[in-house]
Each structure stands twice: as structure tokens, then as C-alpha cells.
Amino acid sequence: MELIFAKSKEGRKGTSLPRTDVPVASAIPEKFRRQKPAELPEVTEQDAVRHYTLLSRKNMGVDTNFYPLGSCTMKYNPKFHERIAVLPGFADLHPLLPQLRHGGGLTQGALAVIYEAQRTLSELLGFADCTMQPLAGAHGELTGIMLIAAYHKTRGDQKRKIMLIPDAAHGTNPASAAVGGFECREVATDSEGNVCIEDLKSKLGQDVAGFMLTCPSTLGLFDKNVKEVCELVHQAGGLNYCDGANLNAIMGRVRPGDIGFDVMHVNLHKTFATPHGGGGPGSGPVGVAECLVPYLPVSRIDKRDDGTYALQYHCDDSIGYIAPFYGNFGVILKAYAYMLSLGREGFKRVSENAVLSANYMRVRLKEHFAQKVDRVCMHECVMSASPQAEKGVHALDIAKALIDRGFHPPTMYFPLIVPEALMIEPTETESKETLDEFIDALIEIAELVDTNPEEILKCPVTTPVRRLDETAAARKPVVADLA
Ligand SMILES: *Cc1c(COP(=O)(O)O)cnc(C)c1O
């Protein structure tokens, strides 16, 4: 890679500002100022612009390439909603501005957005109420787990120490349950990809606090027995937690609250118009059934009789603070704009197209790859490269070959119960032509496995760096190669 440091020449400048004719004063106190000059490259403006433009072109993202990453619903992010989020009336608000009209009119609009987003989401999910505070999906999970703990504690039912979690679950589920003080116990998946009812029954008892189920599951399937599962857990005195990361397969069609779930998180940065990847910002609102409303975290938003909104900090049974101020307000704002722009029919269209695209892919690919269960899928299809692996080409190699063909790879090796998993989520907004190009590339790669597997094992050949030690790249990144 052309490095900007290599182009540095002492004294070269990127700007030509007029000479200042007033004394230079620094606003930064002496003790905080850098002692030695920063070792920045000295280059022309053009060199600096070219450097950053070239770097940006080396990124692969939804704005440059098809990005069918499964499990995380990396979906539509209308650019228009980004513009709404930076409107100065929203973006420039300080969280400590007064809330009420007497001098506080500035925040009433923001509070209204949170309140209305909360109401719309509760309606969409079929819950009594929700909190917009959690800052990510995993944070929402922890919040939900704390609500379940508070519920059992209030009832004096403190022997319930077990959280049941299916073997297909996302890693954050057992992590959240453990951080919340529970012991995790695994529930098996049956041969059809549903929760194994017999195994669930054998694990339910007086010590079970709840069951965390991803709906639709990480296998991309809607559990046919989900209602029975929820009833069994209730009969045993437990609560049902829904991991809603895959909501866009069902939104507008099924309300998890109606099925029997008591608490659920959704990922606004997956389902509601905030791009993700690269670490945020995110938002993981949590919806709850009536029995958990008293424990919701502060702050809560009230709408008063006079039409004003106010944050409530004093709620006796609340689990307390889980995030400061308003949560990730910019993300909530984009989600609310998205909900308004979709409306009831729009939500249905999103889920319909997401499911249609995934099934189109599944059916076209199933002759070429293996499947754990051959069944209509939801928003994503989980294929397995186990036939290719037998010939020495693994899911990872296929992913690298896709990069050379201009596609972001799908999620690999997840869920753990599918060997050589390629979890593909086409999303609802890609054209049939794009889906076909991707499918054709995968089929071409599958055929190469038989004729010239060596070529796949060499991939990627089009990227600035080839195969990295991925653990070292994450743990000990070399962000500027000065050699
Ligand atoms: C993404 C995801 C999570 C965690 O959400 P974050 O927002 O990344 O913390 C949990 N469960 C499933 C199924 C997911 O896909």
C-alpha cells in the first residue's frame, strides 16, 4: 500500500492560509500540550486527499458491495434517515438541557420521539411497554435478564438460578445470563431445527428462571412448536425471553408478545435502519409483558395530561440505571423515522421480501451445498460446505473466494451446530440480479472445488493483504506499517 508517511517531505504543506497578524494564543493549558511536535507526514493537500480516498476504497461495505452477512440482519439503511439524524435541532441537543417547557422547550421534541418510538415498538412486538435505553443487543439481553431476576426476587422465588438456552444460540445469550447471575443449561435442537420438546421438558423445573429463545432461530427457521415451548416454560414458573435480532423476518406478521414471550430485545442497528459493523453505535430496546413493567430501568418517559413529556427517575421497583440519559438517541431517531416511513403495510412488505429472497437463494443453492434441514427458511438460509470440506475446501476458503468475486462473505461457522456453516442473509432490498450474481459465484466456486481446488485455496488474490492470522490481526493490529 502506498503509505503517506513515505511521501513526507519536511516543510511541505497541504494548506496556504494567510499569515496571522494577531498574537497566537492556545486555548489548551500548557501542561496538557504536546511537548514534542506530532510526527505527522508533511504532504500536499492532494496527497492527503488521495491517501484517504484510496483507503476508503479498500473498505468493503454495504455501500460498495453485496453484503449477505447472516444472523445480524445487516439491512436497509436509507440515506434519508441519516439526514434526519443530523438535523441540528436533534443532533445539537445537550443531554442536560431542562426537560420541561418553562425554558425546556428544546428537549420536548426529542422526548416525544423516544416516547412515540417506544409506543410504536410495543405495538409492533405485542408488548405492554418497552425501554429504549439499552445501547446494544447484548445490553438489551442483560437488561431483560435483570428484569427476569427482579420478577422472581419480588415473588420470593430466589431458588430459580437456571437459564435455559438452546444449543443454536448466539454467544451473547449465555454471556448475558451469566453476567446476570444465572447458570446456563443447554437445550437441544431436534432434527427439524426446532427446540427439542423432550429435552426441554427434562430440564424444566422449580430451579428454572427462564428460557432464552431466538425467534426466528439462528438456523433461520421459525420454530413450529414455539407456542408449546412458551406454555411449557410458563407452566414451570419460568419466563420466556425472545432474542429479537432476527425480527425482520416476522415483523408486521407475528407479534412475539402474542406467542407467549414475556421480554424481548430488538437490535435497532440490525432491523431499524442504522448501519452496523465496525462497532456501533447501536441500540437494543427491550419490550416487556405487563408482569415486567414495574421493573423497567430508569429513566422512563411519561406523557402528561397537558401533552408535555417528562423523564421519570423514581420508580420504586425499577432495576435502576442501565445507561445514561436517553440511550443512543440518534439511533432511536432513525428507527422512529423508519417505522413512520414503513407503516403497517411496509413492515409486512419488508418481512415478506426478506423471506422470499432467502428462500430463492436456498432453493437455487441446495443442489450445490448441504443443508441441516431442508425446510422453508425465514430471512436467512444456512447452507453447509461439508461436501466441499470432504474435498479439502472449507467454508473459510469459499468465503475468501467470494471476496475475489466482489462479495462480502456470509457469516461462517455459525450456528455452531451446523458443520462448515455458511449463513446467508440476502435482506429484503437486493435486486434479483444481485442475488443471481451472488448465487452464480457460489455455484462457480462449488464447481471449481471439483476441477481446480488449488485456485480456491489461494484466494483472496485481489485484496491489499492476503490471508491474515485473524486472531493476531484483532489482538495485535498493525495500524501503520512504517517499515
Ligand atoms: C447480533 C446478535 C446479538 C447481539 O446483538 P449486539 O447488538 O451485537 O450486541 C444477539 N443475538 C443474535 C441472534 C444476534 O444476531
What does each of the 483 residues of the chain score in pLDDT, given as a tens digit? Answer: 457 888 899 989 888 888 889 988 878 888 898 888 888 899 999 999 999 998 888 888 888 899 998 877 667 888 999 899 999 999 999 888 887 656 557 889 999 999 999 999 999 999 999 999 999 999 999 999 999 999 999 999 989 999 999 999 999 999 999 999 999 999 999 999 999 999 999 999 999 999 999 999 999 999 999 999 999 999 999 999 999 999 999 999 999 999 999 999 999 999 998 877 666 689 999 999 999 999 999 999 989 998 889 888 888 999 999 998 889 999 999 999 999 999 999 999 999 999 999 999 999 999 999 999 999 999 999 999 999 999 999 999 999 999 999 999 999 999 999 999 999 999 999 999 999 999 999 999 999 999 999 999 999 999 888 998 889 988 988 876 544
* 273 Cα: distance to centroid of ligand 1 (angstroms): 15
Q: Which atom of ligand 1 is nearest to the CA of 73?
A: 15
* 297 Cα: distance to centroid of ligand 1 (angstroms): 20
* 127 Cα: distance to centroid of ligand 1 (angstroms): 20
Distance of CA 157 to the CA centre of its chain: 33
Q: Which atom of ligand 1 is nearest to the CA of 267?
A: 7
Residue carrying C-alpha cell 462479495: 407
- Please state, as a whole number, how many other Cβ atoms lie within 10 Å of the Cβ of residue 175: 14
* 458 Cα: distance to centroid of ligand 1 (angstroms): 32
Q: What is the grid cell recorded at 88?
A: 441540528
Nearest CA to ligand 1 atom 3: 137
- Return the CA Rg of the chain: 26
Q: What is the grid cell recorded at 193?
A: 431445527
Q: Which atom of ligand 1 is nearest to the CA of 169?
A: 13
pTM of the model: 0.90
Q: Which residues of 140-160 are buried (b: 16+ CB within 10 A; e: fewer)?
A: bbbbbbbbbbbbbeeeeeeeb
* 72 Cα: distance to centroid of ligand 1 (angstroms): 6
* 373 Cα: distance to centroid of ligand 1 (angstroms): 23
Nearest CA to ligand 1 atom 1: 72
Handedness of CA 378, 358, 252, 121 (dihedral sign): positive
Q: Which atom of ligand 1 is nearest to the CA of 172?
A: 10
Choose among 143, 125, 124: nearest CA to 133. Answer: 143
Nearest CA to ligand 1 atom 7: 137
* 245 Cα: distance to centroid of ligand 1 (angstroms): 6
249-251-253-255 Cα dihedral, nearest 10 degrees = 120
Mutation pick for ligand 1 pocket among 71, 179, 265, 267 (CB with most ligand atoms within 8 Å):
267
What does the domain layout of the chain look like in residue ranges?
80-341, 347-472
CB 438 within 8 A of CB 68: yes
* 129 Cα: distance to centroid of ligand 1 (angstroms): 21
Ligand 1 binding residues, C-beta < 6 A:
71-72, 136-138, 170, 172, 214, 218, 243, 245, 267, 282, 284
- 80-341: which CATH topology? Aspartate Aminotransferase; domain 2 (3.40.640)
* 172 Cα: distance to centroid of ligand 1 (angstroms): 7
Q: What is the 3-state secondary structure (H, E, C) of the chain?
A: CCCHHHHCCCCCCCCCCCCCCCCCCCCCCHHHCCCCCCCCCCCCHHHHHHHHHHHHHCCCCCCCCECCECCCCCCCCCHHHHHHHCCHHHHCCCCCCCCCHHHHHHHHHHHHHHHHHHHHHHHHHCCCEEECCCCCHHHHHHHHHHHHHHHHHHCCCCCCCEEEEECCCCCHHHHHHHHCCCEEEEECECCCCCECHHHHHHHCCCCEEEEEEECCCCCCCCCCCHHHHHHHHHHCCCEEEEECCCHHHCCCCCCHHHHCCCEEECCHHHHCCCCCCCCCCCCCCEEECHHHHHHCCECEEEECCCCCEEEECCCCCCCCECCCCCCCHHHHHHHHHHHHHHHHHHHHHHHHHHHHHHHHHHHHHCCCCEECCCCCCCCCEEEECHHHHCCCCCHHHHHHHHHHCCECCCEECCCCCCCCEEEECCCCCCCHHHHHHHHHHHHHHHHHHHHCHHHHHHCCCCCCCCCCCHHHHHHCCCCCCCC
Burial classification of residue 9, based on how many CB atoms lie within 10 Å of its CB (0-12 exposed, 13-18 middle, 19 or more buried): exposed
Class of domain 347-472: alpha beta
Mutation pick for ligand 1 pocket among 223, 243, 266 (CB with most ligand atoms within 8 Å):
243
